[in-house]
Amino acid sequence: MTIEITLDGDKKVAAHYPDGLTMATDQPVADGGQGTAPSPFACFLGAIGTCAGVYVLEFCRARSIPTDRITLTQQAEFAPDEQGKRRLTQVALTINLPPEFPEKYRGAIVKAAGLCSVKKAVLTPPAFSIEYQVS
């Protein structure tokens, strides 16, 4: 998949996907941006939780379980590394189920959320390369 990235002024950067969708990003005001969109790192964190949410949604739909009262809460924890830089150390997801959610599926829905492909990509990271071209 090829994603085109554009530098859209100030601290705004956008990803343009082949299907015509665009993901806009900006930096927080505290970091010199205008705060008009999530930062790229916030998008990354959001992708983890929303990916798990897709698996929760599909799990429930396959069993005709209503989803209108199900939410997920994601907590990200940070700590300084050896150089003093703030690094992500843990991501914790909680699936908030209503009392009437079938007890027999409570463990299974956690397993379903764990199938998230974004989480799997983080656990088995890809190789990265960065180069330039003059065009």
Cα atoms in the 13 Å half-sphere on the side-chain side of 115:
12
Q: Is residue 132 part of a domain?
A: no
Q: What is the pLDDT of residue 63?
A: 98
Phi-psi region of 84 (alpha: psi -120 to 50; beta: other; left: phi over 0): left
Q: How far apart are CA 63 and CA 60, in angstroms?
A: 5
CA-nearest of 120, 105, 124, 122 to 56 is 105
Per-residue confidence (pLDDT) for residue 83, from 0 to 100: 96
Q: What percent of the residues of the chain are helix, what percent strand, and what percent coil, each to the nearest 5?
A: 35, 25, 45
- Token couple for 126: 């890809």
- The secondary structure of 34-47 as a DSSP string is --SS--HHHHHHHH
Does residue 61 lie in a domain region? yes
List, for the chain, all residue ranges whose pLDDT scores fall below the cut of 50: none
State the number of CA atoms in the 13 A half-sphere of 121 facing the CB: 12
Provide the residue range defining the domain that includes 38: 4-123
130 located within any domain: no
State the total domains in the chain.
Answer: 1
Give the pTM: 0.91
pLDDT at 114: 97
Assess if residue 74 is contained within a domain: yes
> Residue 94 and residue 1: Cα distance in Å, rounded?
31
129 inside domain: no
What pLDDT does 129 receive?
98
Domain containing 43 — which CATH number? Answer: 3.30.300.20
pLDDT at 82: 95
Dihedral over Cα of 67, 70, 124, 4: its sign: positive
Residue 128 lies in a domain: no
pLDDT of residue 38: 98
